[in-house]
A and B are shown apart, each in its own frame.
Chain A
């Protein structure tokens, strides 16, 4: 039983780490702000969920698991909100989302 839990938690942790890595590469390599944010939000959602689930399996049924679940819930509320606030601020600052263009452009119109 312990081995099964360990294997499952390591699979989750590795997958989570992979998503964080992909998010990091995306945040560096994507061409403009909105696509970079899209890549970075993978870290907040899939990366965090998988890593924290992996740690929860490691901790077993204990107070630590409940605390991690609370952190997970908190992250699921806050990270989409902060992504939204960032994108909204970028829109207000005049950066237009344009998938065709390579770099951010400030459009005064």
Chain B
């Protein structure tokens, strides 16, 4: 049954991908990309990867669609005509596809217990997590503790991406004075005159924030964690910006606060690592953070997940505001 569902979802995925490439209307392409993300999230869920599915649904289908739409608002809605070098690209694509297809013959079959992924470190993680870390969600244990270096790297990648977008998009001071004719000011972004979305949106924002906090702090026990929670909290603020206007969102959570969130999250993560060195352990070895090694692991995971959440929220929201503010220059 799982295989049938999987093949169905993957077929839809291929159809959506082809449609994204074929369509000339970028607005349609953005909507199809959202559907693509939802389909792949359903596929992840089918493979019991609930954490990844949650991330994909929140970031891929939610936030990145909004960011794409923000980018589309700054550019034209239709794609330019294709470049003339089509044969060259066709040859590259076909040969790359053949190589990838050839490589799949060496892959183990789906769910094969002899596959390297089931034999290498995964059994050790599954066996030792109750002893060393004692959290029910092994994904969180692997992500936050066993492979804390990798997650630190991911947080820094997100942080760097945010800084990069801000560098590209920040106009110099005084630039705002000579406005493009017809440029909107911040007050006109949003649906402030539209009663129904406004009322429902305002009603939903606190619940989305609450759910974000739940996902953040429930990550040890169920699917969730800092990345998903950060995306959800950012989505709540973006919804507020859409129904109430961007300027009011900036009043509620100023841009400097977003920068502080970005920096403090990455800093918190790094400091937990440094603190564990000073307490006599290795970098990001949380066992030394408390008298009891398991309690130390819990504390460390809580702190670094908080760092991840803060950075992701800050980066996603500042990218959103950077896109929205670009309209005014």
Which chain A residues have a beta carbon within 8 Å of chain B's beta carbons? 74, 77-78, 81, 84-85, 88
Contacts and interface: CB of A to CB of B under 8 A. Distances in A.
A84 B203 contact: no
B244 to A, nearest CB: 15
A77 B203 contact: yes
Contact of B204 (A78, A84, A85, A88): A78
Interface of B: 191, 194, 196-197, 200-201, 203-204, 207
Contacts of B191: 85
Contacts of B197: 81, 84-85
Nearest to B207: A74
A75 to B, nearest CB: 12
Nearest to A84: B196
- Closest 6 pairs between A and B when the two form their complex, measured CB to CB: A81-B200, A84-B196, A85-B197, A77-B200, A81-B197, A81-B196
* Binding site secondary structure of chain B: helix
A77 B197 CA distance: 10
Contacts of B204: 74, 77-78
Contacts of B194: 85, 88
A88 B191 CA distance: 11
14 contacts: A74-B204, A74-B207, A77-B204, A78-B200, A78-B204, A81-B196, A81-B197, A81-B200, A81-B201, A84-B197, A85-B191, A85-B194, A85-B196, A85-B197
Contacts of A74: 204, 207
Contacts of B203: 77
Given A74-B207, A81-B197, 14 more contacts: A74-B204, A77-B200, A77-B204, A78-B200, A78-B204, A81-B196, A81-B200, A81-B201, A84-B196, A84-B197, A85-B191, A85-B194, A85-B196, A85-B197
A37 B204 CA distance: 23
A53 to B, nearest CB: 21
Nearest to B203: A77
Contacts of A88: 194
Nearest to A77: B200
B243 to A, nearest CB: 10
B73 to A, nearest CB: 14
A85 B196 CA distance: 8
B110 to A, nearest CB: 27
A68 to B, nearest CB: 15
Contacts of A85: 191, 194, 196-197
Contacts of A78: 200, 204
A45 B131 CA distance: 47
Nearest to A92: B194
A57 B153 CA distance: 45
A74 B208 CA distance: 10
A74 B207 CA distance: 10
B87 to A, nearest CB: 37
Nearest to B208: A74
A78 B197 CA distance: 9
B283 to A, nearest CB: 39
Nearest to A88: B194
A85 B198 CA distance: 10
A55 B207 CA distance: 23
A81 B203 CA distance: 12
A88 B243 CA distance: 14
Contacts of B201: 81
Nearest to A82: B197
B253 to A, nearest CB: 23
A28 to B, nearest CB: 15
A81 B200 CA distance: 7
A88 B196 CA distance: 11
A81 to B, nearest CB: 4
B312 to A, nearest CB: 23
